[in-house]
């Protein structure tokens, strides 16, 4: 079977979306919900490919998209998560309610990448004699043309190798946890003790080992694999200020809602603070994770 021809070959619309297209897509999804992207354009009456519709919805039209610039807290979170996970934009975005992977990726490539690469090299803040402007990153590499891909190598040299830890991403398509995942000793939260079959997710929900999670891009970091490493709560990073709650989760009162917003920290801390890992102290950046193995959606190689 060959690849299905892309939208340009099917004579479909490409490029910027019009207001009308946005309205049609939004209205259709409001009635029929997300999914079946392949058939959606036909059913909704859009002359677009499904992929394009999905992207438009996910990155722009979704009602829970947070507008406005990235806050300092969010930026810190992105930096820490990137250090931890590398270019796992969807997972990073999963920690930032209302932000999309595309947005995070763009923010990294345009703002943070530059910031981080300049930070240790303040002496390199030279001025381009022609433009009288501060040199951008690509200009630091005179042999390279200015484009995103050429900045890759530059950034590489400034970026710490991503910390490898055991983490799993949960998407709506994930049905079962990898067999090798073993939950640490039973831990508790505000609501009592979790069974050993449950895994703590953020947003205050739990997940049965055998059930599907609707949490997209959710992440569990398994402290079992942080053998003897000292980890403090900074590793688990501050929860973003707003949190969308899983519709399937029990409703929460005001107090519990607050608890829920911080559940990611609490739940993670409960893991980290269990009997195996009571040593608290180091900052994230000082941790030696080199001995850890990468289990990000992968089994051992």
Partner DNA sequence: AAACCAATCAACCGCATGAAA
Partner DNA sequence: ATTTCATGCGGTTGATTGGTT
Contact status, residue 21 vs residue 13, Cβ threshold 8 Å: yes
Tell me how far apart the alpha carbons of residues 99 and 67 are, in angstroms, rounded to a whole number.
8
Question: Could you count the other beta carbons within 10 Å of the beta carbon of residue 143?
Answer: 5
Q: What backbone phi and psi angles, to 5 degrees, belong to 199?
A: -125, 135
Near DNA in 112-141, by CB under 7 A: 114, 128, 131-133, 136-139
Q: Among 77, 81, 89, 268, which residue sits at the site for DNA (rule: CB under 7 A)? A: 89
Tell me how far apart the alpha carbons of residues 167 and 198 are, in angstroms, rounded to a whole number.
16
Question: What's the min distance (Å) between Cβ of 198 and DNA?
Answer: 20
Question: What's the min distance (Å) between Cβ of 35 and DNA?
Answer: 5
Question: What's the min distance (Å) between Cβ of 259 and DNA?
Answer: 27
Near DNA in 46-75, by CB under 7 A: 50-52, 54-56, 59-60
Q: Among 121, 124, 148, 188, which residue sits at the site for DNA (rule: CB under 7 A)? A: 148
Q: Is 179 in the site for DNA (CB under 7 A)?
A: no
SS3 4: coil
Q: Which of 265, 296 has the CB closer to DNA?
A: 296
Q: Is 24 in the site for DNA (CB under 7 A)?
A: no
Q: Is 174 in the site for DNA (CB under 7 A)?
A: yes
Tell me how far apart the alpha carbons of residues 148 and 254 are, in angstroms, rounded to a whole number.
45
Q: Among 147, 157, 251, 278, which residue sits at the site for DNA (rule: CB under 7 A)? A: 147
Q: Which of 59, 229 has the CB closer to DNA?
A: 59
Q: Cα dihedral sign for 150, 151, 156, 162? A: negative
Question: What's the min distance (Å) between Cβ of 195 and DNA?
Answer: 23
Nearest CA to 84 out of 298, 291, 300, 289 is that of 289
Q: Is 16 in the site for DNA (CB under 7 A)?
A: yes
Q: Which stretch binds DNA (CB under 7 A): 171-179, 197-205, 239-247, 269-277?
A: 171-179
Nearest CA to 53 out of 14, 89, 90, 91 is that of 14
Question: What's the min distance (Å) between Cβ of 167 and DNA?
Answer: 12
Q: Is 7 in the site for DNA (CB under 7 A)?
A: yes
Give 51-77 as a DSSP string: HHHHHHIIIII-TTPPPSPPPHHHHHH
Tell me how far apart the alpha carbons of residues 117 and 9 are, in angstroms, rounded to a whole number.
41
Q: Which stretch binds DNA (CB under 7 A): 84-92, 202-210, 242-250, 272-280?
A: 84-92
User: What secondary structure letter does DSSP report for 168?
Assistant: E
Nearest CA to 182 out of 169, 170, 168, 192 is that of 168
Q: Which of 184, 217 has the CB closer to DNA?
A: 217
Q: Which of 56, 95 has the CB closer to DNA?
A: 56
Q: Among 26, 75, 87, 144, which residue sits at the site for DNA (rule: CB under 7 A)? A: 87
Tell me how far apart the alpha carbons of residues 240 and 203 are, in angstroms, rounded to a whole number.
11
Q: What backbone phi and psi angles, to 5 degrees, belong to 189?
A: -140, -165
Question: What's the min distance (Å) between Cβ of 171 and DNA?
Answer: 5
Contact positions vs DNA (CB under 7 A): 1, 6-8, 13-17, 35-39, 50-52, 54-56, 59-60, 87-91, 101-103, 105-107, 109-111, 114, 128, 131-133, 136-139, 146-149, 152, 169, 171-175, 216-217, 297
């Amino acid at each position: 079977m060959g690849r299905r021809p892309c939208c340009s070959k099917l004579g479909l619309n490409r490029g910027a979306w019009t207001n009308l297209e946005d309205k049609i897509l939004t209205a259709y999804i409001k009635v029929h919900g997300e999914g079946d992207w392949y058939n959606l354009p036909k059913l909704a009456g859009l002359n677009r490919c499904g992929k394009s519709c999905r992207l438009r919805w996910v990155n722009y039209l979704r009602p829970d998209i947070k507008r406005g610039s990235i806050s300092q807290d969010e930026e810190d979170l992105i930096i820490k998560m990137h250090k931890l996970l590398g270019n796992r934009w969807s997972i990073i975005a999963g920690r930032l309610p209302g932000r999309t992977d595309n947005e995070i990726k763009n923010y990294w490539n345009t703002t943070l990448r530059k910031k981080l690469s300049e930070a240790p090299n303040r002496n390199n803040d030279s001025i381009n004699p022609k433009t009288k402007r501060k040199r951008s990153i690509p200009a630091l590499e005179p042999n390279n043309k200015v484009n995103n891909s050429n900045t890759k190598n530059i950034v590489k040299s400034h970026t710490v190798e991503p910390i490898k830890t055991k983490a799993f991403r949960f998407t709506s398509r994930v049905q079962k946890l990898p067999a090798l995942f073993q939950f640490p000793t039973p831990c508790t939260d505000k609501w009592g003790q979790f069974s050993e079959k449950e895994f703590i997710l953020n947003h205050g929900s739990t997940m049965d080992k055998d059930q599907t999670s609707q949490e997209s891009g959710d992440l569990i970091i398994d402290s079992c694999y942080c053998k003897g490493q000292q980890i403090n709560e900074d590793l688990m990073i501050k929860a973003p200020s707003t949190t969308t709650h899983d519709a399937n989760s029990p409703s929460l009162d005001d107090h519990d809602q607050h608890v829920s917003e911080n559940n990611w920290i609490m739940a993670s801390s409960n893991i980290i603070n269990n009997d195996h890992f009571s040593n608290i102290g180091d900052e994230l950046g000082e941790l030696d994770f080199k001995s850890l193995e990468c289990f990000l959606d992968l089994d051992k190689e």
